[in-house]
Amino acid sequence: MATQAAFAVRFPQLARPGRGHGQGQPATRVAVRGGRAAAAAARGVRCRAGGLIEPDGGRLVELVAPEEGGRRAALRREAAALPHRLRLGRVDTEWLHVLSEGWASPLRGFMRETEFLQALHFNAVRGADGSLVNMSVPIVLALDDAQRRAIQADGATTVALVDAHDRPVAVLSDIEIYKHNKEERIARTWGTTARGLPYVEEAITNAGDWLIGGDLEVIEPIKYNDGLDQYRLSPAQLREEFARRNADAVFAFQLRNPVHNGHALLMTDTRRRLLEMGYKNPVLLLHPLGGFTKADDVPLSVRMKQHEKVLEEGVLNPESTVVAIFPSPMHYAGPTEVQWHAKARINAGANFYIVGRDPAGMGHPTEKRDLYDADHGKKVLSMAPGLERLNILPFKVAAYDTKHNKMNFFDPSRKEDFLFISGTKMRSLAKNRESPPDGFMCPGGWKVLVEYYDSLAPPEGSSKPREAVAA
């Protein structure tokens, strides 16, 4: 176990409380769009209270129309009357959710071409004062040739965005339409154009050949009515919760898998280290990804039920843990995407971000190898433009210690005592109703996982298993 002194030498930026809290630092100025952006800016929330790190640009950009003053009702009428309506798919709606709550601050809508090019080529967008704000994945909305021609023929500057039932959910104004070069986007985001990339197949391959950007105003908060909306806390709501708990540090941990005791060891050890550094009340943001994931990942509803058991059984302390859902879709774009995951948590108030092996990575879709170098994610985060204020916490590898019958940090001096249980192996055990070693996962959490895979078993009399669907 690293001593406090050794830890401070390795990560000198963490050696004293207050570093990275945003206190005494000037707010970053960003370019502000015209039109609706001015009204949105007036609703922006400055977040210096409680000593939490400031959001990118100095304020959260919340794009949901306020009920006060009748603005929400007026926007709903305006959207209903607009002649041009773009229907949002599932992933589009998730990005609308992300933008509406300020996760992508200082963005004020789907990207225009200048923002798209900066994100694609620099993994950042530049503010009016020349400062860089990290933005590693494009947040864009596609449309097809027919839609583009119709909008441009009318000279329209505003369009309505509607859901699958043709109900208006937002208005996009002061629009700009530009070419969607899919091959370049895919190559620059994933580093490959190999077939089989899950997000590409879900959201890009069959999308339109044009992109539309503009100033966004969302009619009302995005809800999914799936029994999990109480976990979908916005950045502003999370900041309020951290302030209520008197947090003087917030450390975020993202995962898209069930929590095993190795994960819990990493999180509890991080809190211990922060306490040793002088923080009085560091709070964990356990923040599972809630948007699109590939079909063989455990669905969100199952993961949230499993996370509940982790808290109920005391594996993590509910008093120092906030569990919430991060609404972003998953790209599986490795070092490129992990920057987005880290940047978004700054906007939620986190000033520490835990990063492990191969974050946001996956196996190569056509070859038997990892798509990304397992160490590149944490290295990129330590150098990424616009993330200088965020303290990156690389964690040690945890594995099952057969000598002590529990998850423990890997000790290379006795490597024969350790058993590595991959996510694939964990899922295989659960599918086959085989128990993992005692101490791998809390019993209640493991039961949730087994019951999920039981639900996919073939119906009696059938040899065909029920198929998992993309979460």
| Residue ending a domain, choose from 195, 218, 241 | 218
170 and 305 both lie in a single domain: no
Element of type H or E holding 355: strand 352-355
**pLDDT 10s digit of each residue in the chain, 471 long?**
333 333 232 233 333 343 333 333 333 323 333 344 334 333 444 444 347 899 999 999 999 999 999 999 999 999 999 999 999 999 999 999 999 999 999 999 999 999 999 999 999 998 767 788 999 999 999 999 999 999 999 999 999 999 999 999 999 999 999 999 999 999 999 999 999 999 999 999 999 999 999 999 999 999 999 999 999 999 999 999 999 999 999 999 998 889 999 999 999 999 999 999 999 999 999 999 999 999 989 999 999 999 999 999 999 999 999 999 999 999 999 999 999 999 999 999 999 999 988 889 999 999 999 999 999 999 999 999 999 999 998 877 899 999 999 999 999 999 999 999 988 889 899 999 999 999 999 999 999 999 999 998 776 655 555 555 555
Q: Locate 24 and state its tokens.
A: 């005494």
Contact in structure between 102 and 236 (CB atoms under 8 Å): yes
**Domain contains 4:** no
| Residue ending a domain, choose from 162, 183, 218 | 218
Please choose, from the candidates 220, 183, 225, the residue with its C-alpha nearest in 3D space to the C-alpha of residue 204.
Answer: 183
Q: Write the burial class of residue 226 (CB in 10 Å: 0-12 exposed, 13-18 middle, 19+ buried).
A: exposed
164 and 252 both lie in a single domain: no
**Domain contains 30:** no
CA–CA–CA angle 170, 174, 178 (5° rounding): 100
CA gap 294, 414 in Å, rounded? 36
Element of type H or E holding 200: helix 198-203
pLDDT value at residue 39: 41
104 and 237 both lie in a single domain: no
**Domain contains 427:** yes
Count of C-beta atoms within a 10 Å radius of residue 433: 10
Bridge partners (DSSP) of residue 212 are 177
210 and 315 both lie in a single domain: no
212 and 345 both lie in a single domain: no
335 and 441 both lie in a single domain: yes
**3-state helix/strand/coil string of 92-118:** HHHHHHHHHHCCCCCCCCCCCHHHHHH
CA trace torsion 181, 183, 184, 185 (10° rounding): 80
pLDDT value at residue 28: 31
Residue 45's Cβ-side half-sphere holds a number of Cα atoms within 13 Å equal to 20
Cα separation values, 11 from 19, 261, 352, 380, 391, Å: 12, 25, 12, 15, 9
How many structural domains is the chain composed of?
2
126 and 211 both lie in a single domain: yes
201 and 271 both lie in a single domain: no
208 and 321 both lie in a single domain: no
CATH value at residue 305: 3.40.50.620
CA gap 315, 309 in Å, rounded? 9
CA gap 38, 96 in Å, rounded? 19
**Domain contains 306:** yes
CATH value at residue 175: 3.10.400.10
Strands (E), 127-254: 132-134, 142-143, 158-162, 168-179, 210-218, 249-253
117 and 241 both lie in a single domain: no
115 and 171 both lie in a single domain: yes
212 and 240 both lie in a single domain: no
pLDDT value at residue 129: 74
Q: Locate 287 and state its tokens.
A: 């923040």
**Domain contains 392:** yes
| Residue ending a domain, choose from 178, 195, 218 | 218
**Domain contains 18:** no
**Residue-range definition of the domain harbouring residue 139:** 71-218
**Domain contains 251:** yes
Instruction: List pLDDT tens digits, range 273-290.
Output: 999 999 999 999 999 999
Instruction: List pLDDT tens digits, range 389-409.
Output: 999 988 778 999 999 999 999
pLDDT value at residue 4: 33
**Domain contains 143:** yes
